[in-house]
Structure 1
Amino acid sequence: MTKKMDGHVAVVTGGSRGLGEMMVRAFAAEGANVVIASRKLEPCAVLAESVREEYGVETLAIDVNVSKWDQCDKLVEAVYARFDKVDVLVNNAGMSPLYDDLTSVTEELFDKVVDVNLKGPFRLAVLFGERMRRDGGGKIVNVGSIEAMSPQPEALPYAMAKSGVHALTEGLARALAPQVRVNTLQPGPFLTDISRAWSPEFKAGLDRRTSLGRCADPAEIVGAAIYLATDDSSYTTGSLLRADGGWS
């Protein structure tokens, strides 16, 4: 049987763990060659080898700090040098450092959060998107956050940056149309490695805030990611797809 992404090339930033890893594996299972990009090369390389052996696709591991435009540029050039095309970009890299209170947010922390969560996705989406448009088509998936819709004081810079991602998606959906479709995938609380630091009380509070009454298993991101990364979503662009369990 033909797989949905046979012969496609998919780039996933923040792709070495968590939801990024789930999407990498899902795309590879559907036949895509995958580029795994993250700040640390070793976990990208380990996952690339695992995916190559399990799914028989080509892989490329790259270390990149998406907050630096010169590194974004180098990522784009490296990917095209290896594969000569890109069909899917997933802007998944993100960060939200802890702070004591809003007055303790330093300029350095604020800039770092905005650079990783908004500046980098902008640069990569523009560079990959323009090449996709010239090559005849592609899909960009910007990973958002429930914080963008319901900002909390303990993650306000992050929420502001992710709100900007929503604007980026809608603007680029118009700028790159009709060849390239751009959408936001908004996860809710997922039980990735980050959740290991949650107290039972904190997790219970997250469970209660969802209509489904629970946090999600990481594998539950796969259906939404495949939908946006394939022609299943052929008439969907500029949209926000919530995979958040009915977050309220």
Structure 2
Amino acid sequence: MPEYTVDATPFAGKVALVTGGSRGLGREMAWAFARSGADVAIVSRKLDACVSLAKEIEADTGRHAVGFSCHMGEWNAQEQLADLVYAEFGRLDILVNNAGIAPVYPSLPEVTESLYDKVFDVNVKGAFRLMSVVAPRMAAADGGSIINISSIATKRPMPSELPYAAAKSALEIMTMGFAQEYGPAVRVNAILPGAFDTDIAAAWDPEVVANEMAHLPAGRIGRPNEIVGAALYLAGPSASYTTGVLLPVDGGRTAMGR
């Protein structure tokens, strides 16, 4: 019988960059990569929050962690971010495009051009530009893994989130296209989270959430740390034959009918 060993630090010597990394699912993934041996670049618009988390991660794990500020909706900011990360760490092995926004609106006719553009800028344009800057550098070095955080809204769109669902659908198309362009050196996949109990969920009606979650096969809302398994798998060597995949992590929501 073959013997198998579990590597406690499978990402030792690797560098991971997580956008939208100071809170919610991004925060959980930043912690997970560091605890698995990676050095971590944590990115959001709020530099103080990124720096604070980086200090916590360094103190707890001993890994090198640095916070960066970047507006993901600004085209030119993405190359500047990549340059800063490479200057600090010397390499980049894992990119997680987690930054995203899903603003609420009263009705579809009341969606403003500004809101619409902002949703696509942050959820699509920034991710596209950052991938287009980073993927060639990864391919020219030791390869790498890119993980785009999409949403189950692309499969179960609601009228209250149409611009967001459309933007995430575009991100999924880019996931498949980048996987073709930069394979085999760079693998590109997407995670489609369902409802998770993050700070964003605090604004949801608890009764409505409880009623909807009770009908899921999982029977509940997701815990933030439950995104970690998918992220570590897609970033790691066990997923060496996995690219261009759209992976739901949604408590079984896609298994249900409308």
1:84 equivalent to 2:90? Answer yes
- 3-state SS of paired residue (1:34): strand
Q: Which of 186, 190, 198 in structure 1 is aligned with 2:204?
A: 198
How far does residue 2 in structure 1 lie from its aligned partner after superposition? 5.5
- Corresponding residue for residue 77 of structure 2: 71
Q: CA deviation at 1:187?
A: 0.7
Deviations 1:208-242 (A, max 9, x none): 34211110111111111100111111110000111
Instruction: Give the number of aligned pairs.
Output: 248
Partner of 1:182: 188
1:146 pairs, out of 148, 152, 163, with 152
Q: Name 1:94's counterpart in structure 2.
A: 100
Distance 1:210 1:122 in 2: 32
- 1-side partners of 2:154 and 2:175: how far apart? 13
Distance (Å, rounded) in 2 between the aligned partners of 1:185 and 1:232: 16
Distance 2:117 2:92 in 1: 29
Separation of aligned partners in 1, 2:211 and 2:82: 40
Q: 1:211 pairs with 206, 217, 223, which one? A: 217
Name the structure 1 match of 2:248.
242
Answer yes or no: is the 8 Å Cα contact 1:189–1:206 preserved in 2. Answer: no
Per the TM alignment, residue 205 of structure 1 is displaced from its structure 2 partner at its CA by 3.4
- Partner of 1:136 in structure 2? 142
C-alpha deviation, 1:202, in angstroms: 2.0
Residues of 2 paired with 1:210 and 1:146: CA distance? Answer: 13
Q: CA RMSD in A?
A: 1.0
* Equivalent residues in 2 for 1:14-163, closer than 5 Å: 14-163=20-169
Give TM-score scaled by structure 1 length: 0.98
| Cα separation, 2, equivalents of 1:177 and 1:200 | 43
In 1: Cα distance, 2:102 partner to 2:172 partner? 17
CA distance in 1, matches of 2:131, 2:117: 20
Hey, what does 2:230 align to over in structure 1? 224
Query: Aligned equivalents of 1:177 and 1:222: distance in 2?
Result: 24
SS at match of 2:127: helix
Alignment of 1:156-175 (within 5 A): 156-175=162-181
Gaps spanning 5+ residues in structure 2: where? Answer: 1-6
- Give the deviation of 1:133 after TM superposition: 0.5
Find the residue that maps to 2:71 and give its secondary structure.
coil
